[in-house]
Structure 1
Amino acid sequence: MNGQHRSLTTRRTALLVVATLIAVTLGGCVAVGRSGQPASTSPNDPASDSRTTAQVTDELGQLPGVSAAFVSTGPVGLPNQLELTVGLNLEAGYPGDVPALLDYTLAMAWSATVEQPTTTAAVAFRDGDSALDLAPAAAALGWTGMAGPTLAVSMDEMADRYGPWPGPVPEKPAALG
């Protein structure tokens, strides 16, 4: 009986140690944002002057010929891996400059400051009821070899074109009305 009691006590102690380590590990993540960056707590911190993906979504949704927009940064794959997802629904037969719209849309999404994307920027446009192949627009911007209709733009390609994250809020091109 003494051996069984000792074995039970050892198991309980080991379980408590493991549970405590898990709690301490998870508790240490509380002050860290989803992207692994410290959460902003100071009103003087530049990060407190944030620009959300919701704001960018709203601004893109107001462009002529755009019936709906969506910009989000969220988890994909491993922990702390964040993808920038961008989508526009265009009115059927969109007559505008698609390369200019793609460029402006990605620059706007890159200017959102709340969570830094770490993997890719996935972007897709719909022209009425069908997917719009963005490969020709990407090629016009110098991104050759990308297959459409959805594009996966690497973070290096985004930084090369729009500067380090977060990029500046771009001026709306005249071609977009």
Structure 2
Amino acid sequence: MNDQTRRLAAALLLGLAAPTLAGCSPEQSAMNEDDGRAIEAAVAGAVPDAAGAFASFTWSGAPNTQSILVRVYVDQTDPAFLAATAETTFETVWRNAIREPSSISFQAAQGSRPSQPASDTLGNLDLAPLAEQFPEAHLGIAGQILKLSREELADRYGPWSGKDAE
């Protein structure tokens, strides 16, 4: 085997192994795309003043450790509107997730949803003023992420009742 063939074989192997190394199988990636579109549509329907939504997923091992991050794009930035948007988003995602999430994180970004949102981009709005309405939530990354665990979601919205629960 010459050097070029070895490099090609290594690149192919890495390409096939990357989803597994990242903790996400090709099947999970496909589910994430479908699940993401479903979550985005549910949030857009539940938050009519939103200028769009973006959902992304992370997996830590088994499928029951799926975390969901939802970024809602808005024009209004007052804390009361953001608190209502976060409340509606958390409940909507909790009720519509196809698999029971281990946590749901909320971000808000001012402006319209880009055609290709990046999963590694943060929302650009400070959510620290919402801490009073969400005392159980974890506020992360300079106040730009509000996160509720599975237990906190169940306490707040009742038992998860998505597809897997049926």
Normalising by the smaller structure, the TM-score range is 0.5 to 0.7
- 78, 100, 121: which one aligns with 2:104: 121
Relative to the length of structure 1, the TM-score reads 0.53
Name the structure where helix makes up a greater proportion of residues. Answer: 2
Structure 2 CA distance for partners of 1:153 and 1:78, relative to 1, 3 Å:
same
The aligned residue for residue 164 of structure 1 is: 159
Equivalenced residue count is 115
Structure 2 CA distance for partners of 1:143 and 1:133, relative to 1, 3 Å:
farther
- 40, 49, 56: which one aligns with 1:57: 40
- 152, 165, 170: which one aligns with 2:147: 152
The aligned residue for residue 70 of structure 1 is: 54
User: 1:135, CA displacement in angstroms?
Assistant: 2.5
In 2, Cα distance between equivalents of 1:113 and 1:127:
25
Checking the alignment, whether the CA contact within 8 Å between 1:71 and 1:109 is kept in structure 2 is: no
Structure 1 stretches of 4+ with a deviation exceeding 4 A read: none
The aligned residue for residue 97 of structure 1 is: 81
Give the RMSD, CA atoms, in angstroms.
2.8
DSSP 3-state at the match of 2:151: helix
Checking the alignment, whether the CA contact within 8 Å between 2:89 and 2:106 is kept in structure 1 is: no
In 2, Cα distance between equivalents of 1:132 and 1:58:
22
Larger radius of gyration: 1
The aligned residue for residue 16 of structure 1 is: none
Quick one: which amino acid aligns to residue 142 of structure 1? P
Structure 2 CA distance for partners of 1:145 and 1:60, relative to 1, 3 Å:
closer
Relative to the length of structure 2, the TM-score reads 0.56
Deviates further, 99-108 or 143-152: 143-152
The aligned residue for residue 132 of structure 1 is: 125
User: 1:111, CA displacement in angstroms?
Assistant: 0.5
DSSP 3-state at the match of 1:140: coil
Deviates further, 57-66 or 98-107: 57-66
Query: Unpaired segments of 5 or more residues in structure 1?
Result: 1-32, 35-51, 168-177
User: 1:115, CA displacement in angstroms?
Assistant: 1.0
Checking the alignment, whether the CA contact within 8 Å between 1:65 and 1:94 is kept in structure 2 is: no
DSSP 3-state at the match of 1:107: helix
Checking the alignment, whether the CA contact within 8 Å between 2:39 and 2:97 is kept in structure 1 is: no
Superposed counterparts of 1:20-35, under 5 Å: none
